[in-house]
Amino acid sequence: MPNARKVLVLAAGGTISMKGELESGQNGVLPALDGEGLVEAVEGLSAFASVEGRTVVNKPSAHLTLDDQLDICRQARDAARRGTGVVVTHGTDSLEETAMLCDILHDAEAPIVFTGAIRPASAPGADGPANLLDAVSVAASAEAAGMGVLVCFGGEIHHARCVRKTDTVSLVAFSSPQVGLLGRVTEGHPIIWSRIPRNPPLDPPNLEKSVLIVPTASGDDGTLARAALSTDPDGVVIGTLGAGHLAPPVLELWAEAAEQIPIVAYCRPERGVILSSTYGYAGSERDLRGTGLIPAGFLSPQSARMKLLAALAAGLSIDEVRWAFRQDDG
């Protein structure tokens, strides 16, 4: 059992760390608070745990590189291996990608909890302090042990594999369209009523692979697909319409590519998965599952990309990648 009374806050930048003027004509908000500053600014953390703050990087999350994200996740995982609960403060733009990567790496019992803010620290009604307080309460709780990587935002608790940023301005900016909330934080007390099974971890030495996301739309003639493949990627995450449907020439193009590299397919609606055998027309899910394409299950395209990047960097073959994604398919 992890030491529920010790929590490490790893600061990775984002709005929660930013200060400045919001009025028109001013310079806008910029990164300002480091890990120690974030912890010092929030009263009441000691009621839940002995809390230490440390800075990994201080950038807007749109500026994070894959190397930055891997470093954040490794530091969080290594602390969790020592039995310490971990909170990662992160920008919301790419929080779900880093949280997904962290869940792929995470192999310990101590919880890792991601949080952030929509309003900067200098704004009236800044939400960062409340989110940090809630996240620390989750990271310090025995109930969250063994759950993998969580996201705590706006009083809600989500799993990293299921969460998406679904609103750019709401203080409840994240949701889990497929499975819903795992729980809430009420008056400083985490209440968890649902759990997501954990997947076997991966430990990629780096993320030095090329994985593209290629969407589709009505009238797709394969132009974007051919352009993506001309870059010689190591893998591709592709969009499908409905429950796994593509124009027949586009499916044929991707099926041919899947003989050489892993091609992971997600469905465009934010809820549901690729079907198996309902439709029988050309380009339907029956045809897709009859090719070498790999269904992404309930993963979002950005989460599927992170999983494929990690799988390729860890040296998995196409068949091993298929096995890894099957855990989320169905």
**Domain boundary pick from 159, 192, 225:** 192
Residues 148 and 262 in one domain: no
* β 235-240/263-267 pair status: parallel
Residues 157 and 61 in one domain: yes
Residues 23 and 122 in one domain: yes
Q: Scanning the structure block, which residue is given the tokens 């051919």?
A: 226
15 is catalytic: yes
CATH of the domain at 35: 3.40.50.1170
Q: What are the residues facing 55 on neighbouring strands?
A: 11
Q: Determine, yes or no, domain membership for 197.
A: no
Residues 215 and 164 in one domain: no
Nearest to 121 by CA among 40, 41, 58: 41
Residues 276 and 216 in one domain: yes
Residues 73 and 181 in one domain: yes
Q: How far apart are CA 244 and CA 285, in angstroms?
A: 5
Q: Which residue range forms the structural domain that includes residue 289? A: 211-326
Number of compact structural domains in the chain = 2
Q: Determine, yes or no, domain membership for 50.
A: yes
Q: Determine, yes or no, domain membership for 201.
A: no
Round to the nearest angstrom and report the end-to-end CA distance of the chain: 31
- The H-assigned helical ranges of 164-300 are 223-229, 248-257, 285-289
Residues 186 and 313 in one domain: no
Give per-residue pLDDT as tens, 38-74: 999 999 999 999 999 999 999 999 999 999 999 999 9
Q: How far apart are CA 65 and CA 61, in angstroms?
A: 9
Residues 153 and 238 in one domain: no
Q: Determine, yes or no, domain membership for 200.
A: no
For residues 34 and 11, the answer to whether their CB atoms sit within 8 Å is yes
Residues 252 and 187 in one domain: no
Q: Determine, yes or no, domain membership for 204.
A: no
Q: Determine, yes or no, domain membership for 199.
A: no
Nearest to 102 by CA among 298, 299, 307: 307
Residues 171 and 81 in one domain: yes
Q: What is the DSSP string of 41-70?
A: T-TTGGGT-EEEEEES--S-GGG--HHHHH
Residues 239 and 161 in one domain: no
CATH of the domain at 238: 3.40.50.40
pLDDT string in tens for the chain (330-residue length): 344 489 999 999 999 999 987 665 567 899 899 999 999 999 999 999 999 999 999 999 999 999 999 999 999 999 999 999 999 999 999 999 999 999 999 999 999 999 999 999 999 999 999 999 999 999 999 999 999 999 999 999 999 999 999 999 999 999 999 999 999 999 989 999 999 999 999 999 999 999 999 999 999 999 999 999 999 999 999 999 999 999 999 999 999 999 999 999 999 999 999 999 999 999 999 999 999 999 999 999 999 999 999 999 999 999 999 999 999 886
Q: Determine, yes or no, domain membership for 152.
A: yes
Q: Which residues contact 198 (CB under 8 A, 6 or more apart)?
A: 146, 147, 148
